[in-house]
Amino acid sequence: MPNILLTRIDNRLVHGQVGVTWVNHLGANLIVVANDEVAEDEVQQDLMEMVLPEAIGVRFFSIQTTADIIHDAAEDQYIFLVVKTPQDVLRLVQGGVPIDRVNIGNMHYSEGKTQIYSTVSVDDTDKEAFRKLKEHGVKLEVRRVPDERPDDIYKFL
């Protein structure tokens, strides 16, 4: 069983808050970015690696590759799994990745989305993904930083 400490939805993926604050809080030594586009984009990967301390490893995999190899993680890898969307989390769960808790940190507002929390905007496809994750028994919390009180996403939907 892989040591997945936390899965976070953050459409910015890896940035200072994720790479320092959350990593330190969790005690993670590896960030796995599961995103189809970033897995193929070395420029984005390089930019994300720049914000990480040297002691923290980072891997960039597609959603499918993550599902295929996460069970091969070493016992001493303490994984912080970062994705862009609730649909990505749902695909991982459906692919057999053992995710029981998801932190929703940042989902930017865009056309067609409704802001439900200061840092979270959703559309109908996001809501549907959240409902399906709940059916899979995944706990969903909104929390930007570790010292903030988590809120249950369902009270906002």
Q: Is 108 a catalytic residue?
A: no
Name the residue type at position 17: Q
Interatomic CA distance for residues 18 and 29, integer angstroms = 12
The DSSP code sequence of 9-68 is EETT-SSHIIIIIIHHHHT-SEEEEE-TTGGG-HHHHHHHHHTS-TTSEEEEE-HHHHHH
Catalytic-role residue among 15, 71, 108, 136: 15
User: Helix, strand, or coil here: 134?
Assistant: helix
| Residues classed as catalytic | 15
